[in-house]
Structure 1
């Protein structure tokens, strides 16, 4: 049988292409699996640690007790309206325990939170249309809403990034205009003043600016002898006025500090006034009555 060079070349090209496609596809799938890491939390409260960008998942068994309790409470409230409502709390718990819930991701920072609303939404999606929620569509909706509300109010996670490194700032603080003459570095440190305020480093503080502080101008100060003269009179002010001087010739704005006068009495200091006389008479009368009463009691 004669050989066909064209067919041989075509078969070789197809074999190489298939091998390259297989290697490329395997590498692509392998890289996708490695980047899609999942961190599984043990419970719906507390904290979970993982690498930045990891998917945070939650086992359904961690919230099955909350779902069962909420479904049982809703079943009891529906018994008086729909005696045969088909709600099965145990079936709800078992269906939820068989699932893994994706509730969020680890942020690209030191930490973050996954609130109860996100966990409740994942539970809601996992139980959509489940037969254990009830027979009618309205019953299923009421039971599912009760479960979602219970999980939302009782769950919440704190995410911690294990490989997070805080960014470092390379900028130096601006120096003031008055600190141009001060050295910016010292022994054992590099950078601007105070070595970028890094704890444990040494540096020099910039020179302070005292330009805004008011100062006395030469030639305008008043000597102490003029400000406080011996006679008590300041330059440009009137002399102090005493009580013995005549104030009638002074203007209305210049007068003594006070014009107090003593009030004259109508009698002497030894005169007995009417109130004192009435008090003596009343006292004598009371004394006479007491003596009379005492004498009568002694006689009897």
Structure 2
């Protein structure tokens, strides 16, 4: 049986190729690990502002919430659970957790990570820890108290350092030149369009009545009905204001002063009414008495 021998230069080339591939894979793994580490932004406290690139993970060290956890657990210590609820132990446990991932920097100029998100993460990491109590009800109450305390005490504002506001361009519309006037829907000048608010100014104002040399125009054609002539000082008559008040401030009594009103009559205009007839008779009698007295005095 013949065994084919591989030349030495081929074996050397194969070995170098395998070594290069292994180095490439190993280097890629290290690069991936470095990128993941760089994408985590650590906040020094559980309050304040934190800056980073968009998409970065935001983490809070356990030591930043240690005292808040201790205080919240201490408030739950009572007469029946003081032997099983250990605030110091819970504070040390959360501090030993290291960095706690609480949120992410959004793809915008900034955002917020509320205290409720931080409290949820801490309560999840402390679940089942020593010092929460023996009974499940006690453990749930202590965890709820810690979460509530963190919600009211913590909160982060995130700022994206690599955010750039999008440029907004307003489109400009071009319209045909109409001598300085624009018309809706490219309509002819001076024409009315259904649905529009009115007519556009005309190009030619020659139709307006004006006084020309040698031509007399009636005032009614030059000025609107009811308007005042220039220089006359007359005030145009307008409708009365509210509550019967006229434009000059005169009340209804002053405005109607001097108006005569006819008395109502019952009958035709040619009939002699009884009061008038009695007045004539009385006047005649008085006149006759005066004449008789005057005649007697003259005779005597």
* TM bucket, shorter chain: 0.5 to 0.7
The answer for the alignment partner of 1:269 in structure 2 is none
Q: Report the 3-state secondary structure (helix = DSSP H, G, I; strand = E; otherwise coil) of the residue aligned with 1:19.
A: helix
The answer for the alignment partner of 1:70 in structure 2 is 72
Distance of aligned partners of 1:166 and 1:242 in 2 relative to their CA distance in 1, 3 Å threshold:
closer
Alignment partners' CA distance in 1, 2:85 and 2:124: 18
Distance of aligned partners of 1:123 and 1:226 in 2 relative to their CA distance in 1, 3 Å threshold:
closer
Alignment partners' CA distance in 2, 1:246 and 1:43: 94
The answer for the alignment partner of 1:20 in structure 2 is 21
The answer to whether the aligner puts 1:5 opposite 2:5 as a matched pair is yes
The answer to whether the aligner puts 1:93 opposite 2:95 as a matched pair is no
Alignment partners' CA distance in 2, 1:222 and 1:36: 89
Bigger drift between 93-102 and 33-42 goes to 33-42
How far 1:98 sits from its partner (Å)?
A: 1.5
Distance of aligned partners of 1:123 and 1:225 in 2 relative to their CA distance in 1, 3 Å threshold:
closer
Alpha-carbon displacement from aligned partner over 1:207-260 (angstroms, at most 9, x marks no partner): xxx955799x74696445975699x9xxxxxxxx996978479xxxxxxxxxxx
**How many pairs are equivalent?**
208
Which structure 2 segments of 5+ residues have no match? 181-197, 210-218, 235-255, 265-300
Alignment partners' CA distance in 1, 2:106 and 2:261: 93
Alpha-carbon displacement from aligned partner over 1:268-292 (angstroms, at most 9, x marks no partner): xxxxxxxxxxxxxxxxxxxxxxxxx
RMSD: 4.2
How far 1:32 sits from its partner (Å)?
A: 4.3
Alpha-carbon displacement from aligned partner over 1:81-105 (angstroms, at most 9, x marks no partner): x346511100011111122211111
CA contact (8 A) 2:85 2:131 kept: yes
The answer to whether the aligner puts 1:173 opposite 2:171 as a matched pair is yes
How far 1:71 sits from its partner (Å)?
A: 0.4
**TM-score (normalised: structure 2):** 0.56
How far 1:126 sits from its partner (Å)?
A: 1.6
**TM-score (normalised: structure 1):** 0.56
